[in-house]
Each structure stands twice: as structure tokens, then as C-alpha cells.
Amino acid sequence: MADSPLREPTFLILTALAETPQHGYAVIEDVLRISDGRVRLRAGTLYAVLDRLRADGLIEVDREEIVQSRLRRYYRLSALGATRLAAEVDRLRRHADAAGARLRRARLLAGGGAA
């Protein structure tokens, strides 16, 4: 599991839960903010991913409460989830650094200016 890259929605959901426990609708809104409006999760997609992340031990239920006669479940990142998210951040950073270095070298070789 840790060797395969996280899909973008999964990465963003884990990121949303990294700071504080949130309920489903708050996760949807946070992912929208984190992605600058680019990733819009549907409720069905979100809850399928949350179920998988719980089964994988990456998130946990923090608490449940009743709001307007409906159950609201709050999720939090588990220790394993934090480790997995950190590993993905490192992986993405390495890839971005490699791409940036190659672009700088290409500009230098093309005579495009300083690195």
C-alpha cells in the first residue's frame, strides 16, 4: 500500500483530516478549498473513500453526534494515516524537485537565463 501513490481524492481527504477531525460535509468543503475549487467530491464518492480508509486503518471515527435528527460522524487521521500522508508528501516533493531541476537545466541549456 505505501509503495503505490495515493489517488488525488484520497490524498486530499487525508490532508483535510490531518489538522482536525471533520464530518463528511466539512471534508467535502475542505477538499474544495485545498484544491482551489478543482476537486469536487460527491457524497457517494467521499463515503466510499472514507470506508476504505477506515478499513485500511488510515482514519478513525473520532465521535458521533445527532444534528437535526441525523447522525453526524467525525473522522480523524490515525497515526498510520499520518505516516502514510507524510510518505506521500515526501514522494511528491521528490518528484516536484526533480522536475524543477530538469526545467532549470533545460532553460540554461537553451540559453534562457539563470537557474
8 Å CB contact between 50 and 75: yes
pTM score of the predicted model: 0.87
Per-residue pLDDT tens for 35-51?
A: 999 999 999 999 999 99
Determine the pLDDT at residue 100: 95
The pLDDT value recorded for residue 19 is 95
Domains, in order of start, for the chain: 8-109 (1.10.10.10)
Chain-centre distance for alpha carbon 30: 10
pLDDT at 67: 87
Cβ-contact 88, 6 below 8 angstroms: yes
Query: What's the mean per-residue pLDDT of the chain?
Result: 93
The DSSP line for 14-54 is: HHHHHHS-EEHHHHHHHHHHHTTT-----HHHHHHHHHHHH
Enter the C-alpha cell of residue 1. 500500500
